[in-house]
């Protein structure tokens, strides 16, 4: 892991975290809540410090592994974006889709959640393009 760029990892994690705030806030928050059957009152009762804290920690972990992978393969701009979005499209979206099929969740919820991960990884990829991996 010594070959990974720590600043880029932290900025990439923050970028992914920011994408989540926008994605599940003004862009698709209401639709996501509706598809999950959540109400505003239920969400207000959640331990937000725990949720946001662990979410950011997971974002850092994902950025560490992506940064390490990109550094190991010495990916250029095109390869960085292909690898970043490819992880979401080739691994995460199918895994979510499989879970949602067995959980009988809606296609709309799948599109919201899988789309988030594609944009999340694309944002992290862009950070690694500009700051290096």
Query: pLDDT for 12-49, tens place per residue?
Result: 999 999 999 999 999 999 999 999 999 999 998 999 99
Q: Kindly report, residue by residue over 47-62, the tens digit of the pLDDT.
A: 999 999 999 999 999 9
**Tokens matching residue 74:** 């010495």
Q: Kindly report, residue by residue over 56-109, the tens digit of the pLDDT.
A: 999 999 999 999 999 999 989 999 999 999 999 999 999 999 999 999 999 999
- Using only the alpha carbons of the chain, give its radius of gyration: 16
pLDDT band per the 50, 70, 90 thresholds, residue 2: low
Residue 105's pLDDT is what? 97
**Tokens matching residue 7:** 């600043």
- Could you tell me the residue ranges of all domains in the chain? 6-131
Instruction: Give the whole-angstrom CA distance, residue 62 versus residue 56.
Output: 10
DSSP-assigned states of every residue in 55-78: HHHHHHHHHHHHHHHHHHHT--HH
């Amino acid at each position: 892991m010594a070959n990974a760029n720590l600043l880029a990892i932290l900025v990439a994690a923050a970028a992914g975290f920011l994408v989540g705030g926008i994605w599940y806030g003004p862009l698709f928050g209401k639709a996501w809540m509706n598809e999950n059957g959540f109400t505003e009152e239920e969400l207000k009762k959640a331990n937000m410090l725990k949720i946001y804290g662990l979410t950011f920690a997971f974002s850092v972990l994902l950025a560490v592994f992506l940064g390490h992978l990109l550094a190991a393969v010495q990916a250029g701009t095109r390869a960085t974006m292909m690898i970043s979005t490819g992880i979401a499209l080739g691994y995460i979206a199918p895994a979510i889709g499989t879970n949602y099929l067995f959980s009988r969740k809606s296609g709309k919820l799948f599109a919201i959640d899988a789309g988030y991960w594609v944009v999340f990884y694309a944002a992290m990829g862009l950070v690694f393009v500009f700051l290096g991996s």
